[in-house]
Amino acid sequence: MRLSLGQREALWAYVFLAIPLAFFLYFRIFPTFQALGLSLYEWHADPGARKFVGLEHYERLLEDPLFRRALTNTFLYTLLGVPSQLFLGLAIALLLQRVKVARDFFRAVYFAPYVTPAVAVAWVWSWMLSPHFGLVNEILTLVGLPPQPFLQSPTQALPTVTWVVVWQNLGFQVVLFLAGLESIPRQYYEAARIDGGEGWRLFRHITWPLLNPVLVFSVVIATIGYLQLFTQVVNLNFTDQGGPLNSTLTLALYIYQLAFLRFQLGYAAAVTVVLFALIFLITLVQLRVFTRKVEL
Residue 6 — pLDDT band, cuts 50, 70, 90?
A: confident
Domain for residue 210, yes or no? Answer: yes
Q: What is the pLDDT of residues 224-252, one digit of tens each?
A: 999 999 999 999 998 899 989 999 999 99
How far is 133 from 195, CA to CA, in rounded Å? 58
Q: Does residue 21 sit within a domain?
A: no
- The CATH number of residue 74's host domain is 1.10.3720.10
The domain in which residue 86 lies consists of 65-290
Classify residue 233: in a domain, yes or no: yes
Sign of torsion, CA 163 250 74 35? positive
State the pLDDT at residue 30. 86
Residue 214, CA distances (Å) to 88, 203, 210 in order: 15, 15, 9
Q: Which residues contact 235 (CB under 8 A, 6 or more apart)?
A: 118, 119, 122, 123, 126
Q: Is residue 46 part of a domain?
A: no
Let me know if residue 143 belongs to a domain: yes
Flag whether 52 is in a domain.
no
Decide if 103 is inside a domain.
yes
How far apart CA 80 and CA 75 sit, in angstroms, is 8
Helix axes 103-115, 65-98, angle to 10 degrees: 170
What pLDDT does 247 receive?
Answer: 95
Going by pLDDT thresholds of 50, 70 and 90, the confidence category of residue 89 is very high
Supply φ then ψ for residue 295, to 5 degrees.
-130, 120
The whole-number average pLDDT for the span 79-92 is 96
Domains held by the chain: number: 1
Residue 42 belongs to some domain of the structure: no
The answer to whether the bond into 47 is cis (omega within 30° of 0) is no
Closest Cα partner for 121 from 227, 37, 26, 231? Answer: 231
- Where does 207-264 have alpha helices with state H? 208-210, 212-227, 231-236, 251-256
